[in-house]
Amino acid sequence: MEDVLSEILVSTRLTGTVYFCDQLGSSWEKVFHDPNAASFHQIRRGGGWLQVDDKSEYLGPGDLVFVGAGVEHSLTSHKVGDTNSSNQDTPPTLLLCGYCGLSLEGESPLHALFPRVSILRQAEIEQKTWVKASLDQIASEYLSAKPGAMVVVQRLTEVLVVELIRENFGQQQAHGFVRALTDKQLSRALHLLHANPERSWTLASLAENIGMSRATFARRFKALVGQPMFDYLTQLRLQRAKDQLSNTNLPLYQVAENVGYESEASFTKTFKRHVGKTPTAYRRQQKTG
């Protein structure tokens, strides 16, 4: 699991940081909506109400909520629409807020792993040692304002998101791709694809490598990964190609060969069909910023 997940995390350039950690008064409201980044919030002390899709959920001390990119939501000191509670004072709340994003354009299996909304209660977090330790250290570093604190916060936030992915964001039913990563045969297949995307893989050759029949492998791969093996392989090859086009001066024929295409022409045709522009145009755009 770790080899494949690590490779995906590196190729998608997972980033994250904390942008707010402060004590709030007796009456407060914060609205969040970022189309490009997922958000997470933890009630360090006190309490508040999460509002998503006309539904309210109370968050107590230690509770953590993770909200996917583009999901508008709010956190408030009082339940929305409750006129009685809005007239009551509440104890001060220490709120930690951060975000994480995937800087690589296009789709990645990682996108599908992020839940729309997921809440981890304090009791669950207490059992997840690394998650709790990461949150405690992030809050401590942010509040310390020491030199270099924000660099530490950024790195720890990225570690936190990796831990949440490995913990399946506290969800009871694991996402298909998580199950694929933990499946002995499918994880082996994914490792082979990521280690050697330039090879002329076929369903039969990959199935033989992991000890499955061609039909069973094709069916199981699509069911858990969420797309046919060849679509996954094409996506992987194009991600590698984008990286080489952006960060090297290799000629197109060499990039094409490195990612598994027999000719520059076939590579260009596939790249344009999926990306919407030629490799040359893409490289020019990346170089000019």
3 state DSSP class of 42:
strand
pLDDT at 1: 46
Half-sphere exposure of 268 (CA within 13 A, CB side): 11
pLDDT-wise least confident of 51-65, 79-93, 222-236, 249-263: 79-93
Read off the pLDDT of residues 175-224 as tens digits, 9 standing for 90 and up: 678 788 888 899 899 989 988 999 999 999 999 999 999 999 999 999 98
Q: Where are the alpha helices (DSSP H) in the chain?
A: 2-11, 83-86, 109-113, 122-127, 129-144, 149-166, 176-182, 184-195, 203-210, 214-225, 229-247, 252-258, 264-275, 279-288
Give me the residue spans of the domains in the chain.
2-170, 183-288
pLDDT at 176: 73
- The number of angstroms, rounded, from the C-alpha of 266 to the middle of its chain's C-alpha atoms is 31
pLDDT at position 114 over 70: yes
pLDDT-wise least confident of 179-188, 250-259, 273-282: 179-188
Indicate the CATH number for domain 183-288.
1.10.10.60
Pick the CATH number of 2-170 from 3.30.470.20, 2.60.120.280, 1.10.287.110, 1.25.40.10: 2.60.120.280
